[in-house]
Structure 1
Amino acid sequence: MEHKKIKALMIVEQCNPTFPSVPFVAYNLFKEIDRIVDVTLVTHERNRDAFETKTDHKKVIYISQGDFNTKYYNFVEGFATKGRINWPLYHTLTYPIYGEFDNKVYQQFKQSILRGDYDIVHALTPMMPRYPHKVVKACTKTPFLLGPVNGGLPFPSGFQETAKQESANLNFLRALGRSLIPGYVETYKKADKILVGSAYTLQMLKDMFAIPNDKTELFYENGISKDFLSRAKNASDGSKVKLLFVGRLVPYKCADVVIEAISHLDKEIQDKISLSIVGDGSERANLEKQVQELNLGDIVNFVGWINQQQTLEYYSQSDIFCFPSIREFGGAVVLEAMACGLPCIVANNGGIAEYVTEETGFKIDPISREYLVQEVMDKIKLLVKDEPLRKTMSIKAVERVQEFEWERKAKRIVAIYQELIEAKRSFS
């Protein structure tokens, strides 16, 4: 079958070229898939303005939100995001908004799916593995692809204080939701294939639903753009080895671990390095106080939030990426750093540790905060002292990240479309 003949219905509630995180990841996947096959995109009304100003895609159907849910969302936004965002509570309370979207999609597309108007139905978001897709009921003759989904990762046992700060005590709401939400189990049981964004989540779903191996595939949701891949790393001026952290300044991202690790370095090493922290968040004031108390003001620079293009400049001018986040699913910043030739120091827990290999950086088991600090310090020291190792890891990082280019990922998904379509036809 020629790729252009595939008619795909893509259900992507969160899909937006101007929003960060999941909506932007979903948009990049959709955009590249749309170059290859005939896509009808179904998304939320909130994405309309961005699509109509940023893209020329015509087959977009927007699902509107009722007045009650609009008011309800504003209430939840104010209630669950005061100060530090309480994510478990936020995701639980906002489920009715997704539920309305899901039900409207089913009502609007049930008959066209049953008629066979589409060769495949692909539900791409939400990416957290806690949401049902009612359209699976209509996919009796049309293959249904789910994902990539990713999530469910617990905090390491040695970081319970950080878990409390992130309201992890409310994570029981996940399991409660899975048992109470109609259609959740059916979605995973009836899906023809499930793409999963991390090894942990893959095993979790297999255990929960007894899913056979041939119905799942490890498929990292994050990718890298040609802008990053074509960006040559700027030559160092030789004055300092430049360390970089990019991410939200919240407890589990562990920027404080990098700062403390630097404070334990010998003065000889400290004099050779600088650290730029790009990002903002609830922990910024605490981190600035930490830097002041440790007398690291001449080494550590807080950049704040900057746009993607400016962040790219920091990547290309740096030498080492330090990102010991202890509970990271996607971690696109690690791919961006690798694309710019930076050896990466990460925590070995979640998706980011699956990007980094022994040739491209270091993965540290998050046994405890003290252990993580010590190991980050040791790895920084090693990379600062061993310039040939830095250069070798830089080359290997760029080679490794080619696998994550959006176009390449889209081609794999289209190949999966073909496999599922052929399998369904053979079965019929």
Structure 2
Amino acid sequence: MTGQPTTDDQPPAPRRRVLVIAEAANPELVSVPLVGWSIANALRAHHDVHIVTQIRNRDAFLRAGLVAGRDFTAIDSEAVARPIWRLAEILRMGEGKGWTMVTALYSKLAYPHFERKLWRQFGRRIAAGEFDIVHRVTPLTPTASSLIAPRCARAGVPFVMGPLNGGVPWPKGFDAERWREREWLSYVRGLYRLSLGRRRMIRAASAIIAGSRHTASEFAAARNRLTLIPENGIDPARFSMRADQPGTLPIRCAFVGRLVPYKGPDMLIEAAEPFLRDGSMVLDMLGDGPLMPALQEMVSARGLTHAVTLHGWIDHKDLQALLSRSQLLTFPSVREFGGGVVLEAMALGVVPVIADYAGPGELVTPGTGIKVPMGSRAEVIAGFRKALAALIAAPQTIPALAAAALARVEQHFTWDRKARQIGKIYDWVLDPKGPIPQPVPLSGE
């Protein structure tokens, strides 16, 4: 990437006419659909936006107050999308694993069908200059090519894509977790870079927004058009509570996420066991998944039931009430693309203690949280135990970290801030003077 970091404290950008492609966008879901919706909807406050999404999101858009035809168009691609999802569920046996395979099936088969239908409906309008910019927000995966990108280039309409994220390599020493997640296809994921469609898309794109440094590294051929904006953000209305930070013991910690091997809930319990046992720490585990029975047995066998509460699945709208009870988010996930839960904790004034790898390692900067060096499973456990011991020895240091974490989120990671950051990219695309802006300083910058 090139260019210098910019700030958000500048005059508002002019309104642009933007066709936003957000095939996955839904305010009532989480993960990618919530990201797609949140970015597209935030852009509406600053630009004249028409959103194109998939038909399954139509009712949620209507419930959110948008008007079909005026504010958005829902493309019915279910003839291909539905059987692809069914096939994916069969192949991963309904257990929420094998996401590389699911992404490959959908991005190579279902999504191209969606774009073909989109172009039939909007191609003439794009070519006629009805839109200043076409911005593909989802799919977030960098493996999904776009047939629309070169068509927009031929029509003289800038095509922006991103934030793109995904494909973070599995860290060394975690092959067992990789196989338990059925991530067999991840061993050959890099073959997608040979795709002719991908090369055409990259050549045609006016700007590429990467959600992480790893994803940015996959677009080295477009460095002069590449910027970095993490895809996750915060809705201040949804995360408005503030954690109590007394700076005293015991410290209440939280784990949030699916109970699966790569997120490390068992590693966390092992690392925290001495502090859970002596009463200097209590732990809330928010989430469900295939590891739940093993974790229940682990907690019981080690005599930690007085200090560890396994809450099970939590609705996202109820998350802040539970998470804001904690002082720390203890999150040893070893393969997290974006790390949205890290930003959610920071927005509540909860200090993140994370494995320094991929998304979370880029979001947490010195003074806003604690980063445990990545290593083998044993090294991660030892690193978390050391970090927790240091905080328990000096709990009075936690409130300052919490305040800095909250300030960082408010400055860079609300959805409105993100829309303003993307607006700077639009300005540059339409008048490319100097290097492409780099709006968000990440850890190490």
Q: What TM-score, normalized to structure 2? A: 0.88
1:416 to 421, 425, 435: 425
1:89 to 101, 105, 117: 101
One-letter amino acid of the counterpart of residue 250, structure 2: K
**Per-residue deviation, residues 226-268 of structure 1 (Å, max 9, x unmatched):** 135642223659673101001111111111111001224485x
Alpha-carbon offset, residue 77 of structure 1: 2.3
**2:262 aligned residue:** 252
2:222 to 211, 231, 240: 211
Task: Say if 1:144 and 1:193, in contact at 8 Å, map to a contact too.
Answer: yes
**2:207 aligned residue:** 193
Alpha-carbon offset, residue 110 of structure 1: 2.1
Does residue 21 (structure 1) correspond to residue 31 (structure 2)? The answer is yes
One-letter amino acid of the counterpart of residue 146, structure 2: H
Task: Say if 2:239 and 2:320, in contact at 8 Å, map to a contact too.
Answer: no
Does residue 147 (structure 1) correspond to residue 162 (structure 2)? The answer is yes
**1:118 aligned residue:** 131
One-letter amino acid of the counterpart of residue 172, structure 2: S
1:184 match: secondary structure: helix
- The aligned runs of 1:29-428 (5 Å cut-off) are 29-57=39-67, 58-67=70-79, 69-94=81-106, 95-140=108-153, 141-180=156-195, 183-206=197-220, 210-212=221-223, 214-227=224-237, 230-234=240-244, 240-265=250-275, 267=277, 270-402=278-410, 403-423=412-432
Report the CA distance shift for 1:81/1:195 in structure 2 as closer, same or farther (over 3 A).
farther
One-letter amino acid of the counterpart of residue 402, structure 2: S
Alpha-carbon offset, residue 66 of structure 1: 4.7
CA distance in 2 between partners of 1:2 and 1:116 (Å): 24
Report the CA distance shift for 1:69/1:419 in structure 2 as closer, same or farther (over 3 A).
closer
One-letter amino acid of the counterpart of residue 413, structure 2: F
Report the CA distance shift for 1:228/1:390 in structure 2 as closer, same or farther (over 3 A).
farther
CA distance in 1 between partners of 2:216 and 2:88 (Å): 31
2:161 match: secondary structure: strand
Task: Say if 1:158 and 1:366, in contact at 8 Å, map to a contact too.
Answer: no
Task: Say if 2:246 and 2:399, in contact at 8 Å, map to a contact too.
Answer: no
CA distance in 1 between partners of 2:420 and 2:385 (Å): 40
CA distance in 1 between partners of 2:296 and 2:142 (Å): 36
> More relative contact order in 1 or in 2 (CA 8 Å, sep 6+)?
2
CA distance in 1 between partners of 2:427 and 2:317 (Å): 36
Report the CA distance shift for 1:329/1:46 in structure 2 as closer, same or farther (over 3 A).
same
CA distance in 1 between partners of 2:421 and 2:212 (Å): 17
**Per-residue deviation, residues 369-426 of structure 1 (Å, max 9, x unmatched):** 11111111111121122122111111111111111111111011112112212249xx
Alpha-carbon offset, residue 308 of structure 1: 2.6
1:91 match: secondary structure: helix
CA distance in 2 between partners of 1:330 and 1:19 (Å): 16
1:397 match: secondary structure: helix
Report the CA distance shift for 1:111/1:288 in structure 2 as closer, same or farther (over 3 A).
same
One-letter amino acid of the counterpart of residue 55, structure 1: G
Structure 1 unpaired stretches of 5+? none
CA distance in 1 between partners of 2:285 and 2:246 (Å): 18
CA distance in 2 between partners of 1:198 and 1:293 (Å): 40
Q: What TM-score, normalized to structure 1? A: 0.92
Task: Say if 1:84 and 1:282, in contact at 8 Å, map to a contact too.
Answer: no
Report the CA distance shift for 1:262/1:2 in structure 2 as closer, same or farther (over 3 A).
closer
2:219 match: secondary structure: helix
Percent identity between the aligned chains? 32
Moved more, 6-15 or 106-115: 106-115
One-letter amino acid of the counterpart of residue 115, structure 1: A
One-letter amino acid of the counterpart of residue 97, structure 2: I
**Per-residue deviation, residues 174-218 of structure 1 (Å, max 9, x unmatched):** 3344435x5222112221110001112112321xxx223x30111
Report the CA distance shift for 1:189/1:299 in structure 2 as closer, same or farther (over 3 A).
same
CA distance in 1 between partners of 2:79 and 2:403 (Å): 53
Alignment RMSD: 2.2
Task: Say if 1:236 and 1:317, in contact at 8 Å, map to a contact too.
Answer: no
Alpha-carbon offset, residue 330 of structure 1: 0.9
Structure 2 unpaired stretches of 5+? 1-10, 434-445
CA distance in 2 between partners of 1:193 and 1:154 (Å): 25
One-letter amino acid of the counterpart of residue 208, structure 2: I
CA distance in 1 between partners of 2:182 and 2:211 (Å): 23
* Between structures 1 and 2, the one with greater helix share: 1
Report the CA distance shift for 1:323/1:37 in structure 2 as closer, same or farther (over 3 A).
same
Alpha-carbon offset, residue 61 of structure 1: 0.9
Report the CA distance shift for 1:277/1:266 in structure 2 as closer, same or farther (over 3 A).
closer
CA distance in 1 between partners of 2:84 and 2:300 (Å): 42
**Per-residue deviation, residues 308-362 of structure 1 (Å, max 9, x unmatched):** 3321012221111100110111111101111111221111110111111221222
Alpha-carbon offset, residue 97 of structure 1: 1.4
Task: Say if 2:276 and 2:282, in contact at 8 Å, map to a contact too.
Answer: no
- Residues paired across the two proteins, number: 417
CA distance in 2 between partners of 1:79 and 1:152 (Å): 20
**Per-residue deviation, residues 273-303 of structure 1 (Å, max 9, x unmatched):** 1100001111111211221222211111001
